[in-house]
Amino acid sequence: MTKHSWDGDMNRTMIDLHRELGTLVRTGPREVSVSDLTAIKQIYGAGSKFRKSDWYSVWQGHRKFDLFGERDEKIHGEQRRLVSRAYAMDSLKDLEEYVDHAVTIFLDNMSERQGQVIDMGNWVQLFAFDVIGEVTFSKRFGFMDSGGDDGSFGQIEGALKSASWVGQIPSFYWIHDALSPYIGNHLALSARHGSLRQFAIKEIAARQDRGGNQKDILSKLRATQKEKPLEMDENAVASMATSNIFAGSDTTAISTRAIIYYLLKNPQCKNKLIEEIDECRAQGKLSDPVKLSEAEKMPYLQAVMYEALRLHPAVGMSLPREVPTGGATIAGQYLPAGSAVGANPWVIHRNKEVYGDDVEAFRPERWMIENNGDMHRFFFAFGSGARMCLGRNISWMEMSKLIPTLFMHYNLELSEPEKEWTTKCWWFVMQKGVNVKLTRRRS
């Protein structure tokens, strides 16, 4: 599996292996991938004794405050309670104006490029970075202004590529970590612990100097720090801000690319979405930019988003958990304590019992039927259980606003519709090849 992690095809490899071998696939000497639906609740459900495996230790490194990498469930629960208020649904109303600002700048850039073929995949990445800067620090990175990044994209990609395969052999990371003062850093893992963290620290210090009454995530973290300074110290604030940049930008960009790509690959779906947008607009039900509360009342838009993230969830590798003391029986097979077991979102989202026989088809309508509870229950794009992605509400808001606002104003077509995009799975499944011809729609 280490080779597949390096090659960047783990997502498709696991789909093929489960189709060939069934619900349990042995992926290493002490690791198993599972696709059995009853096992999902057992492994990831509330109160589960399955903690994160040592794969995550590579991500945490030496950081004491790390919601993603922390393996101790008690510590994770304490940390999550400290910061959850900043990411709750109630906080979205404070953050929406920041997203509006980024959407407006994105559309200004599209206006300057109408009639051209543009790399829409790159532009949504620029947007995602700028918007996470807005909601976290009330300050954009300025990538949309310059039309490019400052090297951050490459740093994150390098860190993802290294961690995806080094995580298969965590001991290698710790040996390298001990030797790095003498041999240098050859694993490209410093983006999360180094340059992006330094950027976050700089912005936090700048906020302290200038003050202000912002309603962004940093202000909410600062409020918690003021209430509980011992639990929420400077390192904790910096860690959360860094995680926002690292995880919040790429996942949203990947998901937004998927929505746009599948709509353009399926023109009948694109046209149906445009009909919904135009109808809502004619009835005075849409603002510009579209409000989250308005987007939530657009059933086809929501179905499109769920379907795109079902076919292309951002994470393409297993979410491994350690079997607790005493072992466990998973899908009829006993697994000893200390072994690892996990489910891959790409595999779960192609379960025909849940999503129908046409699991490889982009069909948003499947989400619009009654009694679709199982589809939502096993929707794994943001993880599951107590470890579900903390920023999922913010990401969903960004996409819910950008997509209808973009298609309200512009017609998008793939410049080479016969070509397929290319993807690489290094934890996140990143795409290339969303080149789009952009023309303004008539009002």
pLDDT of residue 187: 47
pLDDT of residue 173: 55
In the sheet that holds 24-28, the strands lie side by side as: 24-28, 31-34, 340-342, 321-322, 51-52
Domain boundaries, the chain: 2-440
Q: Tell me whether residue 389 is annotated as binding.
A: yes
pLDDT of residue 57: 79
d(C-alpha 252, C-alpha 280), whole Å: 25
pLDDT of residue 166: 67
Task: Give 361's Cβ-side CA count (13 Å radius).
Answer: 11
pLDDT of residue 55: 85
pLDDT of residue 3: 72
Q: 2-440: which CATH topology? A: Cytochrome p450 (1.10.630)
d(C-alpha 132, C-alpha 266), whole Å: 29
pLDDT of residue 171: 61
pLDDT of residue 263: 99
Note whether 196 and 247 are within 8 A (CB).
no
pLDDT of residue 194: 58
Q: What is the pTM of this model?
A: 0.93
d(C-alpha 381, C-alpha 369), whole Å: 20
**Tens digit of each residue's pLDDT, the chain (443 residues):** 667 776 889 999 999 999 999 999 999 999 999 999 999 999 999 889 999 998 887 776 667 888 888 999 999 999 999 999 999 988 899 999 999 999 999 999 999 999 999 999 999 999 999 999 999 999 999 999 999 988 888 878 877 777 776 666 666 555 555 545 444 444 445 545 556 778 888 888 888 777 778 899 999 999 999 999 999 999 999 999 988 988 889 999 999 999 999 999 999 999 999 999 999 999 999 999 999 999 999 999 999 999 999 999 999 999 999 999 999 999 999 999 999 999 999 999 999 999 999 999 999 999 999 888 899 999 999 999 889 999 999 999 999 999 999 999 999 999 999 999 999 998 899 999 999 999 999 76
pLDDT of residue 372: 84
The 3-class secondary structure across the chain, one letter per residue, is: CHHHHHHCCHHHHHHHHHHHHCCEEEEECCEEEECCHHHHHHHHCCCCCCEECHHHHHHHCCCCCCCCCCCCHHHHHHHHHHHHHHHCHHHHHHHHHHHHHHHHHHHHHHHHCCCCEEEHHHHHHHHHHHHHHHHHHCCCCCHHHHCCCCCHHHHHHHHHHHHHHHCCCHHHHHHHHHHHHHHCCCCCCHHHHCHHHHHHHHHHHHHHHHCCCCCCHHHHHHHHHHHCCCCCCHHHHHHHHHHHHHHHHHHHHHHHHHHHHHHHHCHHHHHHHHHHHHHHHHCCCCCCCCCHHHHCCCHHHHHHHHHHHHHCCCECCCCCEECCCCCEEECCEEECCCCEEECCHHHHCCCHHHHCCCCCCCCHHHHHCCCCHHHHHCCCCCCCHHHCCCCHHHHHHHHHHHHHHHHHHEEEEECCCCCCCEEEEECEEEEECCEEEEEECCC
